[in-house]
Chains A and B, each alone.
Chain A
Amino acid sequence: MNRALLLCALSSCAIDTLAFKTKAERRNLDCQRLSDVEAAARYPGQVPPPPAKELAGGVGDVLACSTRYLETGERPNRDEAILSSLSTQVTELADSAGAMAPQTTRWHVDAFYPSLPVAQKIAVAARTTLAQRGFIVSDRVPTLAAGDVAFLVTLPQSEVYRIACARSFVTEVLGPDEALLGLMIVDPKETQLHGGVCLRGEWRWLP
C-alpha cells in the first residue's frame, strides 16, 4: 500500500486534504515547507513544475507531509521520543566522543536503557556512526566480572559509571588503547541520551 503523501500546493489546492483527516491522522504526519521549485524536483508527477515567473525568483510554497512509519502510541512514549531522534542524538554524541581519544583507539560501545531492544538500537547506531567516521570499532561489549557488577548495582548513579570505568581499566577489561562509549538515560522521565567516555580508567561525560 502506498504510504499517504499529502502534498498541497497552498496557492492552488482546491480542497485541503487536512479537512478530512482525524486528529490522530494529523498528528501522525511529519511536515515541512518547501519552495515550489524544490517540491517539483523532489516529488515529480505529484507537484507540478512552477510557472516560469517563480523559477525566475518568485516565491511559492508547498507543504510536504510524510506519514510516520509507526503511529503515536504504538511504542511507549519515551522509546518513541528516543528512537525518532536516534540518528541526530547518537551522531552528536559519537562525534563528541571521537574527538576525545586518539585515532588509533579501539572503541567499544554499550548502551544503558531500560528496554533491551532499544538499548541495542542505540548501541548499533553509535558503533555504525563511529565506524563510518573511520575509527577502529569493535562489536565486543566489555563486561566486568559478576562480583564487580553485583557491587556496582548498589552504588548511586553519580558513582557507578566512574567506578565501573576505573574497575574496567584495573582488571584489563579495557586496555590502554581502548575506550568505551557509554550511552544512557539517567532519569526515567527524560527523552534525551547522555554520553560518557571511559578512557584509561577515567570516566568523562560528553557535553
Chain B
Amino acid sequence: MALPLHQRRAVKIGLAAVAIAMTTGCVTVYQPLVGLQRPIALDPQTPTNFTDNTRVLVRCHPGDGVEADVLCRNVRSSLSKQGATVTTEVVRPSGKVAAPDRIETPPQFIIDITSKLIHHDDSALLSLLCIASFTLIPAVEEWTFGQEIRIRDAQGFLLAQQSFQERFVESFGLGVWALNGIIDLLIRPKSEQVTGDGYKEEFTRDLHGHLAQLLYNAKVRARVMNSFAPEPSAEKPKGTAP
C-alpha cells in the first residue's frame, strides 16, 4: 500500500539526513609551527642508526590532550627500529612513574618528553551554522600542541634539547569534505591529499625523525665530551652466562 504524500516526504527527508550524516567527514590539516619543519640529516628509516648498543630510557610526561603512554609506545617502536634498546616510563600527573619497563642495564641516555596543549579554538558560531546548514558550512576546530624534549646522559648532563610546536585544523562538514575529496581524487597528488589520516603520518614522521636526530646529536655530543674515549661496555644482566 502506498504511503500518503506527507509520510513519503518525511521518509525522503529522513533518508537524505542519514545519507548526509553517513557521508559527512573531517578534513584535518597539519602545520608544523616550530622546529618540526626543519630538515634533518639522519634517515630515520635506517635500521643501523643506533646499533652500537645504544640504551635509551624514554620518559613521557603528562599533558592536556596528550596520551603519554601512546606517545611513549610509539617513540619506543620508532627508536627500536633504528637499532636502539629502548625502555619507557610514563610519568603520572602525581609525579609517580606508572608501570616502568623492566630495566636490565642502566640507560646511557634519558629522553624526557613533555607535551602540552598550547591553544584550542572552537568557534561556537561556526558550529551553529554547521548544524543549521546540514553541515554544508563547516565547523572548524583547531589545536596547537607543544613538545619539549631534553636528552641527558646517565649522570644527568644535558646533551641536547629542542622545542617543537604544531597545529591541527579540523574542518567538519559535508561541503568541505566532499569538495576536498573530489579535489584529492582528481587533482591533488597523493602526498598533498588532505582527506584521510595523512596528517597523522606526516606529524609522526616529523616528530620521530627529529627525535632520532636529537638522540643522534646527543650521542655524538657525549662522545666529544668524553674526548672520543671508547664507551664502557654495558653491565651484563645478573644471571646470564659470562
Contacts and interface: CB of A to CB of B under 8 A. Distances in A.
Contact flag (A, B; Cβ within 8 A) = yes
Nearest to B157: A207
A27 B216 CA distance: 23
Contact of B34 (A26, A30, A72, A190): A30
Interface stretch (A17-25, A121-129, A135-143, A166-174): A17-25
15 contacts: A19-B171, A23-B192, A26-B31, A32-B33, A63-B33, A73-B39, A157-B228, A158-B228, A189-B41, A189-B42, A189-B49, A191-B40, A192-B217, A192-B220, A194-B224
Interface of B: 29, 31-34, 37-42, 49, 118-119, 121, 140, 142, 144, 160, 165, 167, 169, 171, 191-192, 202, 213, 216-217, 220-221, 223-225, 227-229
B37 A27 contact: yes
A148 interface: no
A18 B29 contact: yes
A105 interface: no
Nearest to B158: A207
Contacts of B225: 205, 207
Contacts of B119: 10, 33, 61
A42 interface: no
A78 interface: yes
Contact of A81 (B34, B40, B220): B40
A17 B5 CA distance: 47
B167 to A, nearest CB: 7
In terms of DSSP, what is the predominant structure of the interface of chain B? mixed
Interface string A40-77: 00000000000000000000010101000000110001
A31 B213 contact: no
Interface in A139-194: 156-158, 186-192, 194
B90 to A, nearest CB: 28
A11 B40 contact: no
A157 B171 CA distance: 54
Contact of A77 (B39, B191, B228): B39
A33 B224 contact: no
A72 B228 contact: no
Nearest to B213: A191
Contact of A190 (B38, B118, B220): B220
A99 B167 CA distance: 40
Contacts of A192: 160, 217, 220-221
A28 B37 contact: yes
Contact of B39 (A29, A32, A81): A81
Nearest to A19: B29
Contacts of B217: 190-192
Most buried by B among A32, A33, A65, A78: A33
A23 B228 contact: no
A84 interface: yes
A30 B202 CA distance: 17
B36 to A, nearest CB: 9
A81 B38 contact: yes
B207 to A, nearest CB: 14
Kindly list the 5 A-B residue pairs having the minimum CB-CB distance in the complex, ordered from nearest.
A158-B228, A77-B39, A78-B41, A31-B33, A27-B37
A80 interface: yes
Contacts of A189: 41-42, 49, 216
A18 B199 CA distance: 14
A81 B228 contact: no
A95 interface: no
A103 to B, nearest CB: 26
Given A26-B32, A78-B41, A189-B216, A10 B224 contact: no
Interface centre among B34, B49, B121, B228 (most CB of A within 10 A): B228
Q: Quick one: which of A19, A22, A23, A29 has the most chain B CB within 10 A?
A: A23
A78 B42 CA distance: 9
B169 to A, nearest CB: 6
A191 B227 CA distance: 19
